[in-house]
Amino acid sequence: MSASSNTSTREDLFDAEFLDRLRALFLRLRKRKQLRRKGLQATPATGFTREFKDFRHYTPRDDFRSIDWRLYARLDRLFIRLYEEIQEFHVHIVIDTSASMVEPFPEKRLTSLKLAVALAYMGLVGHHRVSLHAISESLAPPPPPLKGQGSLQRVLDFARDLSYGGLTNLDRCFEEFQPGRRRYGIIFVISDFYGRDIDEAREAIRHASAWPGEIHFIQVYHPWEEKPDVEGEIELFDVETQEYRRLWFTPGDRERYEQRFRLFLEDIEKTCQARQIDYQRWRTDFPFDELFLELLSRGSALAGNA
């Protein structure tokens, strides 16, 4: 793998236009009032903060300690301050950095990083803690949790500096990943879910179902992986195991491959559904903004505080 395929400048990945689109997406989420209550749901976790919302007239049933005396001095009328309890979540973003996420289709890497940055941005502007994690053969030690819009630069640096390569060991990584229970967690896993064998993802999902909080699996893949445009004598190269295989690829082989790939996607989706894990397919040529809004609009608590 060449260095040029593994690193990019911040401008290549996250230009001003992309950051403007993130701000626009945040504003669109704010306008969806029906999502707000989801972010204010009661959960067993701690971490609530109070945010001023409005004033209303004081009544004898109200706690006099809520009276705004400064406003009374100006208007000679009693008002109380209304607050809204906002829960601070811990947003975990888990990014697959194995070789198959960058070769031979670098669009998968670009899509997954933009998605990770977009999710981190929503977490930071929503006043949540955000943790970034990288997985391949094992779970990499994560940087300290981030908080506040001023931390966006550190998110961009993290994404820019990620190194890709090696095998995928989903089962091991998901077993090693242990999000804390002190604060309600929202977990996003971004991966193609290719493992050492076709069934590895199913076992890994079993580990993931034990994580506390809200879990989302986002499966990123390239259009060619779904419908390969090849025929005749071909040479296959596994970018993770470095194995070669030469074969004759017929139209019938292509049809069987496409069916098997479709079943692979469906199997992951059904396994996630059985474990109460939200699942979304994300093909690299799909419209980013609409898919992202759909991801959060399906009930994620991350959209609630927008």
The 10s digit of each residue's pLDDT in 225-246 is 999 988 888 888 888 878 888 9
- What confidence category does residue 303 fall into, taking pLDDT thresholds of 50, 70 and 90? confident
Q: Give the pLDDT of residue 84.
A: 54
Q: Give the pLDDT of residue 189.
A: 96
pLDDT at 51 > cutoff 80 = no
Alpha carbons 251 and 290: distance in angstroms, whole number: 34
Question: Tens digits of per-residue pLDDT, 12-47?
Answer: 566 778 778 888 877 777 665 444 444 444 444 444
Pick the more confident residue, 286 or 8: 286
pLDDT at 53 > cutoff 70 = no
The CATH H-level superfamily of 3-33+89-303 is: von Willebrand factor, type A domain (3.40.50.410)
Do 205 and 177 contact (CB within 8 A), yes or no?
A: no
* Cα distances (Å, whole numbers) of residue 5 to 99, 104, 109, 198: 11, 10, 10, 27
- What confidence category does residue 86 fall into, taking pLDDT thresholds of 50, 70 and 90? low
Q: Name the average pLDDT for the chain.
A: 82
Q: Give the pLDDT of residue 177.
A: 92
pLDDT at 93 > cutoff 80 = yes
Alpha carbons 278 and 68: distance in angstroms, whole number: 44
Q: What is the pTM (predicted TM-score) of this model?
A: 0.79
Q: Give the pLDDT of residue 298.
A: 75
- Burial degree of 257 (CB within 10 A; 0-12, 13-18, 19+): middle
Question: Tens digits of per-residue pLDDT, 107-161?
Answer: 999 999 999 999 999 999 888 999 999 999 999 999 999 999 899 999 999 999 9
- What confidence category does residue 83 fall into, taking pLDDT thresholds of 50, 70 and 90? low
pLDDT at 5 > cutoff 60 = no
Do 130 and 89 contact (CB within 8 A), yes or no?
A: no
Q: What percent of the chain has pLDDT over 70?
A: 82
Query: Domain locations in the chain?
Result: 3-33+89-303, 48-86
